[in-house]
């Protein structure tokens, strides 16, 4: 994720001697183990007062004096509190630690991220990948209807909730850099910084930072492409630098999915439209993209893929 990097003078404001060894000090949660994290927040598995397991996202100690990092986490909490959809991870509680760091408490769901599934399985069956991405798009559409654009759609932010029977249920994670419009807007990001993950970033995020639902459609198109092809849509060398990756989004024509994977032409055309450089040429909504995906894959192919994955 690209964004603002804390300056050294900001980090030095933290009184190291005052820090607690308990990252959730003053809350009703007790840490079991660290399970993830990013530049500004860590995610812990923790037990609640009745012994139930939660995933707690909390601002890191060294970011305690960063108002921007704290504001992003609080905005994410407000967003999750306002959104209710089976393809979005729900919020159970938002609060502050004793030393003044915001935290979000979410249920600890069984399963793994789409990124972890991909690393473990390699290329996914087209119908299975299509069903996962279409479900994730349903969650995004619910967010978009509330004026929220995710801006960091990628496999690591799609959680596959394990089911007792049948396929996993995709749920969108991490609205930490989401863009909020209208009355829900509480916090804006400095426009000189590009936010997002370079591999999945849309051209308009690079050019002027103006985003809408079609921005997430582009990123999800790349997710779908690489889930099926086990490679990205651009012919880039492994380890290409950031400038090369961004130039590809801006000016390099993406490969056709049916050129690199065994999928029907109609399905490849659906993915190609999501990857159009100009937002006006893409699907206008996440719901429209999800409907096109489902329409390009026969129902029996979906159910067959789900049986193989269960």
CA distance 181 to 144: 10
Respond yes or no: is residue 152 known to be catalytic: yes
Instruction: Please count the other Cβ atoms lying within 10 Å of the Cβ belonging to residue 73.
Output: 20
Q: Which residues contact 192 (CB under 8 A, 6 or more apart)?
A: none
Strand order in the sheet with 158-161: 111-113, 158-161, 169-172
Beta-strand ranges (E) seen in 41-146 are: 41-47, 53-59, 93-96, 102-107, 111-113
Element (H, E) at 159: strand 158-161
- Of 138, 152, 174, 216, the active-site residue reads 152
CA distance 171 to 159: 5
CA distance 198 to 205: 10
Query: What is the b/e burial string over 276-305, where b = at least 16 CB atoms within 10 angstroms of the residue's CB?
Result: bbebeebbebbbbbbebbbebbeeebbeeb
Active-site residue numbers? 152
């Amino acid at each position: 994720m690209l964004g603002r990097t804390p300056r050294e003078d900001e980090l030095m404001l933290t009184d190291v001697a005052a820090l607690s060894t308990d990252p959730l000090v003053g809350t009703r949660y007790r840490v079991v183990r660290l399970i993830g994290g990013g530049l500004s927040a860590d995610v812990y598995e923790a037990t609640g007062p009745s012994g139930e397991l939660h995933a707690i996202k909390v601002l890191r100690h060294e970011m305690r004096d960063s108002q921007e990092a704290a504001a992003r986490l609080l905005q994410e909490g407000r967003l999750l509190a306002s959104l209710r959809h089976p393809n979005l991870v729900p919020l159970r509680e938002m609060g502050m630690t004793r030393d003044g760091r915001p935290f979000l408490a979410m249920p600890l769901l069984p399963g793994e991220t789409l990124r972890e599934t991909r690393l473990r399985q390699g290329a996914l069956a087209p119908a299975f990948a299509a069903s996962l991405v279409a479900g994730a798009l349903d969650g995004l559409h619910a967010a978009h209807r509330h004026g929220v654009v995710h801006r960091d759609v990628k496999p690591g932010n799609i959680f596959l909730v394990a089911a007792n029977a049948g396929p996993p249920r995709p749920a969108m994670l991490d609205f930490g850099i989401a863009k909020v419009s209208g009355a829900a807007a509480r916090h804006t990001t400095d426009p000189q910084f590009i936010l997002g993950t370079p591999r999945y970033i849309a051209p308009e995020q690079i050019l002027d930072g103006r985003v809408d639902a079609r921005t997430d459609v582009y990123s999800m198109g790349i997710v779908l492409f690489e889930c099926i092809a086990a490679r990205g849509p651009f012919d880039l060398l492994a380890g290409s630098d950031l400038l090369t990756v961004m130039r590809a989004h801006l000016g390099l024509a993406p490969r056709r999915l049916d050129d690199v994977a065994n999928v029907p032409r109609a399905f490849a055309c659906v993915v190609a439209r999501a990857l159009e450089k100009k937002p006006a040429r893409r699907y206008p909504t996440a719901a429209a993209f999800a409907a096109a995906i489902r329409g390009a894959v026969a129902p029996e192919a979906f159910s067959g893929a789900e049986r193989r994955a269960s």
